[in-house]
Amino acid sequence: MSAPAESLPLDLETLYRDSNVDAVLQALERELVGLAPVKTRVREIAALLLVEKLRRSVGLEAGAPSLHMSFTGNPGTGKTTVAMRMAEILHALGYSRKGHLVAVTRDDLVGQYIGHTAPKTKEVLKRAMGGVLFIDEAYYLYRPENERDYGQEAIEILLQVMENQREDLVVILAGYKDRMQRFFESNPGMASRIAHHIDFPDYDEAELFAIAGIMLEKTKYRLDAGAEAALREYIALRKKQPHFANARSIRNALDRARLRQAKRLFEQRGARLTREALMTITAADIRASRVFEDKGEET
Amino acid sequence: MRLTQGTFSFLPDLTDAQIRAQIEYCLAQGWAVSVEHTDDPHPRNAYWDMFGMPMFDLRDAAGVMAEVDDCRKTFPRHYVKVNAFDATRGWESLRLSFIVNRPPSEPGFALEREEGAGRLQRYALRSYAADRPEGERY
């Protein structure tokens, strides 16, 4: 018995064009630098949902796929940003009905006294329904050193909803890799309900520079030739220092450079300003950073 | 006798899909939806028991539907209604309220007459269900 090989009324190409997922994926590619493994996985999920839609249209029901995810990676690697994009993609593909993102931490889920946790967690879950629930630093939910901690209760309610109302919401847990690892080891129920573990790699220097370029473009600033070299140098130095938070550190550095640029312009307020001058960050604005001072002291 | 209170009360009972659509409409208007229940069907009983807190900042009806189902499961023989509260200045009141669950049999109301002074006649409405104490009705 061979399956009938009739061709389908809908092909993937039409479906892909009809959903505006293409635009979201393009934006992901354009606005997020690096993150190759993340982008691959996002594409895979998008493909799965498209194929699933096509399968459903010809009566091949398979039930809603489990899309709960865990994002692990160092600070500033784009976990929250990708979660927001993920909500858009899931909405574009019709998996989540509203496509909004509710970002919470332990404080929003866990109560302060007995009987406080369950209503609190349930309220957050209800708010997130139809969209994506993003739990930042999820490992704080579970505190093994305190056996009367209410975090366990929140985890149990989460698990129940993750299992029973899969089509209503997608849960994304995020945090540092090693601590998430430990969190999953002590909560096997949670680990088994999460289908997608996505690791966010650190950015290399060229990627960080590209990120700075995107940030500047968005805020309508530009670097002059000297500043570009200074920024490259800055990134190399900052990367070696403690508390380096990838893209977040770059954003902070640029914010401080803007501050210095404003101060510099203010100090020469007698002179007539050009539009160009208002946009330009010079090498001096960047080289005034503490990062360069430290280098002087050390070497 | 079928109880008719609130919006849609002269229509046949709403299906779950219709209830969901109504809640979606309420949420789209920015109203806060809440669930209430009672076993005292008297029309002047304005104080139904709240089932959980009113739900603010919801985006999707799934959260309310879960609450409605929960309430139906806990009180299968009670009246359950869904309220939508509009907090806009000037309104600050319920905009929509409809029954989503009712007991399997509704005995209805008795009309009681009371003789007053002279030929004065007073009328009162008494629900048969309320004869028994709270919690044992229906």
How many angstroms separate the Cα of A97 from the Cα of each of A167, B24, B32, B81?
Answer: 9, 11, 19, 25
Mean pLDDT, chain A, rounded, equals 87
Cβ atoms of A151 and A106 closer than 8 Å: yes
CB–CB contacts below 8 A, A to B: 38
Q: Which two tokens stand for residue A213?
A: 């370029």
Which residue type does A81 have? T
Q: How many CB atoms lie within 10 A of CB A33?
A: 18
Pairwise CA distance, residues A268 & A261, whole Å: 11
- Cβ separation of B63 and A98 shorter than 8 Å? no
Chain B residue numbers with beta carbons less than 8 Å from the beta carbon of A104 are: none
Chain B residue numbers with beta carbons less than 8 Å from the beta carbon of A169 are: 62
Per-residue pLDDT of chain B (138 residues; tens, 9 = 90+): 899 999 999 999 999 999 999 999 999 999 999 999 999 999 899 899 999 999 998 999 999 999 999 999 999 999 999 999 999 999 999 999 999 999 999 999 999 999 999 999 999 999 998 888 888 888
Pairwise CA distance, residues A109 & A142, whole Å: 12
Pairwise CA distance, residues A278 & A222, whole Å: 9
Interface of B with A (CB under 8 A): 52-53, 55, 57-64, 66-67
> In a 3-state reduction of DSSP, which class is residue B118?
coil
Chosen for mutation from B60, B67, B69 (greatest number of chain A CBs closer than 10 Å) is B60
pLDDT of residue A50: 85
Measured between CB atoms, which of A98, A119, A123 is closest to B59? A98
How many angstroms separate the Cα of A212 from the Cα of each of A34, A222, B69?
Answer: 13, 10, 50
The whole-number average pLDDT for the span A227-245 is 91
Residue A264 has pLDDT above 70, yes or no: yes
Predicted TM-score of the model (pTM): 0.84
pLDDT of residue A297: 44
Q: How confident is the model at residue A53 (pLDDT cuts 50, 70, 90)?
A: confident
pLDDT of residue A58: 83
Residue A5 has pLDDT above 80, yes or no: no
Q: How confident is the model at residue A10 (pLDDT cuts 50, 70, 90)?
A: low
Pairwise CA distance, residues A286 & B58, whole Å: 45
Q: How confident is the model at residue A294 (pLDDT cuts 50, 70, 90)?
A: low
Quick one: which of A107, A105, A166, A170 has its CA closest to A138? A105
pLDDT of residue A1: 44
pLDDT of residue B10: 93
Chain B residue numbers with beta carbons less than 8 Å from the beta carbon of A98 are: 59-60
Chosen for mutation from A96, A108, A126, A161 (greatest number of chain B CBs closer than 10 Å) is A126
The whole-number average pLDDT for the span A246-256 is 92
pLDDT digits (tens, 9 = 90+) for A102-152: 999 999 999 999 999 999 999 999 999 999 999 999 999 988 888 788 999
